[in-house]
């Protein structure tokens, strides 16, 4: 499973996203991409340090792409489109991920937007990513207290409404709206440019192939229609076409199922259509 259990637990802690120092051990998670290549994320919750590496098919330790710590410029190790491409491949290979949101949120510090990026589309995707963060599971069931609660505590007004997601909108706005200084690490002599380019070629091939495979090819014409029109109203019909063709991939179906969240559906429609990330997003933001 690409997203390790330790990293999932950390991602369910709001303090991690707020930049709090947490008394927790370091976490390493490997994200297999394709062709034997993987992205490796190291996180130190206590010190706030993060490092992103690239591991090749013939290497045991990752080659560093970027490193950052609180108060330092963020490393521009990945272009935005590279991050989106890798996040999509990771989500496709992890049935527990309904979309690439968690991976985008985790790796965004290594892919700061540039003037060449569509600012509105990047903001929309990052916002959707943070809103998709999973909340911790329900607490274990305990035996009921034989003493009935006082009427005061049974009143619904006593209890606050549960939040829709892990992070409050104000926190998400801060995460998305902040624009820290970035360092161009890609021009460094030891930056593994050739290895990164090879990994991205494999990732592009992986995504491009999906819409032509059995169970998915039947949905490509409709996915391309949706992409061209920008109308997500026929996403339900796309789900029907895919299921009738034998598609049972939980990530694919969950991204397109009701209730449809536009930014979550876009990535799968674009992937099935075989178009560049952001092609449909620009229609709906």
| Domain end residue (candidates: 119, 152, 187) | 187
Please tell me what DSSP assigns to residue 20. Answer: -
* 27/276: higher pLDDT: 27
DSSP structure class, residue 234: G
The pLDDT value recorded for residue 153 is: 44
Instruction: Write down the pLDDT at residue 58.
Output: 85
**Mean pLDDT computed over 12-26:** 92
Do 183 and 216 lie in one domain? The reply is no
Structural domain harbouring 92: 5-135+172-187
Query: Do 178 and 110 sit in the same domain of this protein?
Result: yes
In this structure, are 107 and 243 located in the same domain?
A: no
If asked whether residues 218 and 107 sit together in one domain, one would say no
- Tell which residue, 107, 141, 125, has the closest CA to residue 7: 107
182 and 228, same structural domain? no
Nearest CA to 75 out of 67, 87, 83 is that of 67
Does 14 map to a domain? yes
More confident residue, 46 or 254: 46
> At 52, is the secondary structure helix, strand, or coil?
strand
Give the closest residue to 84 by CA, choosing from 246, 270, 260: 270
The sign of the CA dihedral 182, 46, 129, 215 is: positive
229 and 181 share one domain: no
As a whole number of angstroms, the distance between CA 13 and CA 213 comes to 38
171-189: average pLDDT? 87
Question: What pLDDT does 152 receive?
Answer: 47
- Report the number of distinct structural domains present in the chain: 2
Residue 39 in any domain: the answer is yes
Has residue 261 been placed in a domain?
yes
For 29-33, 80-84, 166-170, which range has the lowest pLDDT when averaged over its residues? 166-170
Contact (Cβ atoms closer than 8 angstroms) between residue 272 and residue 223: yes
- Residue bearing tokens 């080659």: 63
- Domain assignment of residue 193, yes or no: no
Rounded mean pLDDT of 118-127? 90
pLDDT at 101: 87
Average pLDDT, the chain: 86
Contact assessment for residue 278 and residue 263, using Cβ atoms and an 8 Å cutoff: no
**pLDDT digit string, tens, across residues 59-111:** 889 999 999 998 888 899 999 999 999 999 998 888 777 678 899 999 998 99
């Amino acid at each position: 499973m690409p997203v390790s259990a330790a990293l999932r637990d950390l991602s369910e802690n709001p303090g991690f996203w707020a930049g709090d120092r947490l008394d927790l051990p370091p976490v390493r998670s490997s994200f297999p991409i394709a062709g034997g290549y993987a992205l490796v994320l190291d996180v130190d919750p206590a010190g706030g340090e993060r490092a992103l590496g690239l591991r090749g098919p013939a290497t045991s330790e990752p080659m560093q792409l970027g490193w950052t710590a609180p108060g330092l410029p963020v490393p521009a190790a990945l272009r935005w489109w590279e991050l989106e491409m890798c996040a999509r491949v990771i989500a496709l290979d992890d049935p527990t991920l309904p979309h690439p949101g968690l991976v985008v949120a985790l790796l965004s510090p290594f892919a700061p937007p540039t003037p060449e990026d569509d600012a509105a589309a990047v903001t929309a995707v990052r916002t959707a990513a943070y809103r998709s963060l999973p909340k911790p599971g329900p607490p274990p069931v305990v035996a009921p207290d034989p003493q009935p609660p006082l009427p005061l505590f049974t009143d619904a007004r006593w209890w606050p409404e549960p939040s829709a997601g892990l992070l409050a909108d104000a926190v998400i706005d801060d995460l998305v709206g902040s624009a820290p200084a970035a360092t161009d690490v890609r021009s460094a002599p030891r930056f593994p440019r050739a290895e990164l380019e090879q990994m991205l070629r494999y990732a592009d091939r992986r995504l491009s192939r999906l819409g032509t495979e059995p169970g998915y090819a039947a949905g490509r014409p409709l996915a391309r229609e949706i992409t061209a029109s920008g109308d997500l109203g026929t996403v339900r019909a796309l789900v029907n076409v895919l299921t009738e063709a034998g598609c049972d991939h939980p990530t694919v179906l969950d991204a397109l199922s009701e209730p449809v969240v536009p930014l979550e559906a876009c990535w799968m429609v674009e992937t099935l259509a075989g178009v560049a990330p952001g092609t449909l997003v620009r229609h709906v933001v």
